[in-house]
Amino acid sequence: MRKRIQIDGVWFVEEQTIEQDFDVTFSYQACSGIFDFMVLLTDCGAVMTDTGSVTAYVKGRDKEPEYWDNTEWLIDVRDGIKTSFENDLTTEQLSELQNLLIAVTEKGWV
């Protein structure tokens, strides 16, 4: 039987703590520092499906970043299908993002 306690007529069950001795995230960063790509790993080090995301610091690292985590959309950006952004990336920034997405695809992260 699980450990329980009743307080004011409400039953509570003791929670179990799961201890992890590993870091479950791995980060890959583009050279210019404008885009960070992050993917989650399993405890065995395998990439978890559809966990890749881009953190975009288009307005600078001291400003609020944008987070892009739609894998299909990122693939479209990589392949040049989606190239219009609300924040109007420059041609160089778009090229850098596409190069980053190509690099992480080659690593099997996308």
Distance, in Å, from the CA atom of 18 to the CA atom of 38, rounded to the nearest integer, reads: 24
Query: How confident is the model over 76-106, as pLDDT tens digits?
Result: 999 988 666 655 788 888 888 999 999 889 9
Q: H-type helices in 1-110, by residue range? A: 71-78, 91-106
Question: For residue 61, what pLDDT is reported?
Answer: 83
Q: Is the pLDDT of residue 32 over 80?
A: no
Query: How confident is the model over 15-25, as pLDDT tens digits?
Result: 766 566 655 56
46 compared with 54, residue with greater pLDDT: 54
Mutual angle of helices 71-78 and 91-106, in 10-degree steps:
110
- Partnered with residue 25 across adjacent β-strands are 40
Q: Is the pLDDT of residue 27 over 60?
A: no
* Structural contact between residues 37 and 29, judged by C-beta atoms closer than 8 angstroms: yes
DSSP state of 69: -
